[in-house]
Every structure is written in structure tokens, then in C-alpha cells.
Structure 1
Amino acid sequence: MSLQFIGVDPESGQTGSPTVWVDEENADIVAQSYTADEVTRAECIEKNAPGHDKEIPDHETVIRIPAHMVPMLRKACDAAERRAAAL
């Protein structure tokens, strides 16, 4: 796996910084961010997609990405689209 660095939350300091990358092999967006609290997780389960199990599978989690990082996510989406087109 080879990750293309997109950006890091400039407001988070030097530790535990939410970060966004694009996987250059399959164009997936990879994100490190804050673990969602139990209230948020419960609401995600409650408002799950129709027809899906009302649980979060062991291999998945809910994360929270700060709103001020939306421009980085847009940049990651653009990079992922370019990468996917090249595959």
C-alpha cells in the first residue's frame, strides 16, 4: 500500500492529529480522526441505512472529522477520482 498524504488538521497540535490520505493502489480515502462518542455512535445505529443491520460491524467504526477539514476531504476526493481514473 502506498498512501498519498493530503492534509492534517492544523488546529490539532502535534499529537493525535486528524489526517487524510489517498491509497494510490485502489484510490480509497483513508482518514485518521477522533473516535465518535457513544451518543453519536448510537444515533448512527438508530438512523442506519434502510435494509441494513442496526449495528456497527466489528471491522468498522464511526469517526468524527472536524468541519474545518472539509476542504481537505474535497482535495482527497479529487485526488481519489484522478487516481481511480488512472487505474
Structure 2
Amino acid sequence: MSLRFIGIDPNTGTGESPTVWIDEEAQELVFQGWKAGPSLEAQCATTTLPGHAAGIPDHEAVVRVPARMVHIIKEACDAIEGTQLR
């Protein structure tokens, strides 16, 4: 796995660190964020989407990332698109 750091929450303190990376080899965005908490996780788990079963598979998680990180997420999207051109 070749993770490339893109950015960290600009308001992060020493105890919190929502972070965005890209995995260039797997062509994936990687997020570290706050745990969703039981109520948000339950809401996501009960949302029905066309073609998908309700629930959150054991190998997936719901995380929260602050909106102030949108520019970092956009940078990660641009970076991963750039690796697809290689």
C-alpha cells in the first residue's frame, strides 16, 4: 500500500486528527474521522438505497469529517484522478 498524505483538519488539536490520504496503488481515498456514534450509525444503517441492502457491513464504517475539510477532500480527488492518468 502506498499512502500519500493529503491533509489534516486545519482546526485539529493534539487529541483529534481527521485526515485524508490517497492510496495510489489501490486508487482509493482514505479517511480518518470521528466515529459516527450510535444514533448516526443507526440512521445510516436504516437508510434504504436502490440496489443495496439496509445495514452497514462488518467490514465498513461510518465516519464524520468536518465540512471545513472540503478543500482537502477536493485536493485528494484531484490527486487520485492524476494517478489514474499514469
* Residue in 1 that maps onto 2:49: 49
- C-alpha displacement of 1:15: 2.8
Which amino acid in 2 is paired with 1:46?
T
How big is the alpha-carbon RMSD for the aligned residues of Structure 1 and Structure 2? 1.2
1:25-40 matches, cutoff 5 A: 25-40=25-40
Distance in structure 2 (CA, Å) of the matches to 1:20 and 1:48: 27
TM norm structure 1:
0.90
Once superposed, which parts of structure 1, at least 4 consecutive aligned residues long, lie more than 6 Å away? none
TM-score, normalised relative to structure 2:
0.91
Counterpart residue type for residue 79 of structure 1: A
Partners of 2:15 and 2:76 lie apart in 1 by: 22
- The worse-fitting range, judged by mean Cα deviation, of 47-56 and 69-78 is 47-56
Alpha-carbon distance in structure 2 between the residues aligned to 1:21 and 1:54: 28
Percentage identity across aligned positions? 48
Alignment of 1:1-87 (within 5 A): 1-86=1-86
Count of aligned pairs? 86
- Rate the CA distance shift 1:48–1:80 in 2: closer, same or farther, 3 A: farther
Q: Deviations over 1:22-78 (max 9, x none)?
A: 112122101100010111111112223223111100000101110100110000000
Q: Which runs of 5+ in 2 are unaligned?
A: none
